[in-house]
Amino acid sequence: MALTTITSDTGPIELNVEESGQGRPVVLIHGWPLSGQSWSAQVEALAPHYRVVTYDRRGFGESAKPAGGYDYDTLAGDLHGLLEALDLRDVTLVGFSMGGGEVARYMSRFGADRIHSVVFAGAVPPYMAKTDDNPDGPLDEKTATQMREGLEADREAFFDDFATTFFSTPKLGGLTSTLKVSEEQRQDAIAMVLQSDQNAALTCMDAFGTTDFRGDLGAVIVPALVVHGDSDTIVPFEGSGKRTHEAIEGSRVQIIEGTPHGLAVSHAEEFNRILLDFLAV
């Protein structure tokens, strides 16, 4: 990967960017609190057919870590700046988890001129927070507060536990572990998230938990795919992917059975097949 200076709403910023392959561009937008490295299995599968671009969100991985700019308007502006800097057109945007919010906000702010299609993978839209006007939101205030307090109190312990939950499905009777990846893969994820800036991690946690994307999804006028694990405990399908699919006219939905939140790693082969099938359209 290489640092690339892009122009965003707040001015120039250096993002760590990697490009692989040739052809129609596919931009992979990582989840919280990971980095572009989290897409390694997808880059390997897609690069023989497409120009694959991954990048570290500001504040994460090896990108610049400014004091601010961790709201979705600015993050979508970073994405727009990247597409402009690389002059990418006819792009498929693939947003995982928090990254799905950037896809939704990009479409409502910048439109479809450069966009061929979009993918929401285990993504946070339409609105995570459970509120009076959003009773189906999967993130209640108590859980959100516990997450923030846990990260503030002991960063390493929080991320260790989060990585386990990220790759696990709900326990059934008699099971002591439902981890769906190897310990090596779990440790790789922990190393990745520890690269994040603490302020960026906390502020982005607030952003993905409280940003309302219901008004953004109407701007998705290109082919759209929603792909989700049916056993995702971090961003449950019923409160997120299902509602996003219902909000985007003509969208497709694919459910992967027995899959945790970190489906792009735990079920990479099936996830990649679904992506390649959609990209071929």
Residues 6+ apart with CB under 8 A from 246: none
Sequence-separated (6 or more) residues with CB below 8 Å from residue 41: 264, 265, 268, 272
Selecting among 97, 168, 231, 266, the annotated active-site residue is 97
| Residue 21, token pair as written in the block | 């392959």
Q: Which of 232, 245, 266, 267 is catalytic?
A: 232
- For residue 80 the two structure tokens come to 């727009």
Question: Residue 97 catalytic?
Answer: yes
How many Å apart are CA 205 and CA 280, to the nearest integer? 34
Q: Which listed residue (80, 228, 245, 261) is catalytic?
A: 261
Is 261 known to be catalytic?
A: yes
Looking from the CA of 266 toward its CB, the CA atoms found within 13 Å total 26
Burial 188-211 (b: 16+ CB within 10 A, else e): bbeebbebbbeebbbbbbebbbbb
Dihedral sign of CA atoms 272, 278, 108, 213 in order: negative
Catalytic residues: 97, 232, 261
